[in-house]
Amino acid sequence: MSVRPQPRPGVMQIDAYVPGKSKAAGVAKIHKLSSNETPLGPSPKAMEAIRTFDHLELYPDGTATRLREAIAARYGLDANRIICGAGSDELLALITHAYVGPGDEGLFTEHGFLVYRIAILAAGGTPVVAPEKDLRTDVDAILAQVTDKTKIVFLANPNNPTGTYIPFDEVKRLHANLPPQVLLVLDAAYAEYVRRNDYEAGLELVATSENVVMTRTFSKIYGLANLRLGWMVAPAHIADAVNRIRGPFNVSGPAIAAGIAAIQDEAHIAKAIEHNERWLAWLSREIEALGLKVTPSVGNFLMIHFPESAGRTAQDADAFLSGRGLILRRIDAYGLPNSLRLTVGDEEANGLVVAALRDFLGGKHA
């Protein structure tokens, strides 16, 4: 007999999510390139919406009606099938709690977002990992792991932290070969950044299927990470289930107001896309010229691979870069201990990273 309350099975198997670090001791100026935040910041219109927001004493609209309508107008969707949340993380957890329980399995890929495993365990389910192929989602590997216990499959496309993606034809093939009772969750947090002709986020698949959900976020290209705002679109029956367990006021009024302004500011979005296209290519080219391997990325970040030789490891590079105020993301928890993830920063930060890596590889002191 226990002498104190015990968490439900699975909870203590969870490795708590550890965000990218944001500080470096003894450094005057920090360039935080560890969390895939946009260097351009939020839309000025979103900032104005926050500044002019009043009535903080009142509860927000519990269904975020105006924000859902703005999203629906932007993408040609049915607002009734959209749910907003405190970041897409909350929505991923809600979906999992609605469809996964003890004895059920949830599937994700080898280097998929850490939140998937956390959500599955928290719901009492069993996480199942499908191997990737050359750091990319392998549809056949996912399908090979599907059993009669599988209730949910998470697909991050593009994937974090690898930056890789699979073409929409492969997404459709995955869906076509899943049992109809298995829920496919398309996590498209970085979709706005992708400039590939064979890529689609999957809105059409959601609209024409009964077992596909898409999640999106305002934390990346829209620059509203601090407000915690995301959205999902789903078939009506799934939206109904998730709404039944969603908190009644899970999105704040300022977040709703800022989200509406942000998604309507197409000029700011275009500026962010242009900046990312330019500097993602530049960083990849310059870092590879130093002799380091970079995984081709379609997001606003890239993954740099380091040798395992003494003094040149990812851990050594992280310490060196931190000493110069350049904070990258260690991704050991993703099974990638010899790599660092670098967010595309502003011009100054990008130049400093390349210069610092050159010095690191050349044996110069921090």
Residues in the chain: 366
pLDDT at 23: 73
Are 251 and 231 a contacting pair, CB within 8 Å? no
Domains of the chain: 11-41+267-362 (3.90.1150.10), 45-265 (3.40.640.10)
Contacts for 9-13 with beta carbons within 8 Å, 24 or more apart?
9/102, 9/124, 10/121, 10/122, 10/123, 10/124, 10/125, 11/121, 11/122, 13/121
Cα within 13 Å of Cα(217), Cβ side: 27
Are 61 and 256 a contacting pair, CB within 8 Å? yes
Alpha helices in the chain (DSSP H): 44-51, 65-75, 87-99, 114-122, 139-145, 168-176, 203-207, 236-245, 253-264, 266-289, 314-323, 347-362
Cα within 13 Å of Cα(360), Cβ side: 28
pLDDT at 365: 64
Classified as helix, coil or strand, 196 is: coil
Q: How far is CA 210 from CA 93, 170, 336, 349, in A?
A: 20, 19, 35, 45
Residue 7's CB is within 10 A of a number of other CB atoms, namely 9
Q: Give the angle subtended at the CA of 72 by the CAs of 70 and 75, to the nearest 5°.
A: 110
Segment-wise mean pLDDT, segments of 10 residues, the chain, 366 residues = 82 81 78 96 98 96 97 98 97 98 97 96 97 98 98 98 98 98 98 97 96 98 98 98 97 98 98 98 98 98 92 95 97 96 98 97 76
| CB crowding 58-86: b at 16 or more within 10 Å, else e | eebeebbeebbebbbeeeebebebbbbbb
pLDDT at 10: 83
Asked, as a colleague might, if the bond just before 158 is cis with ω within 30 of 0, I would say yes
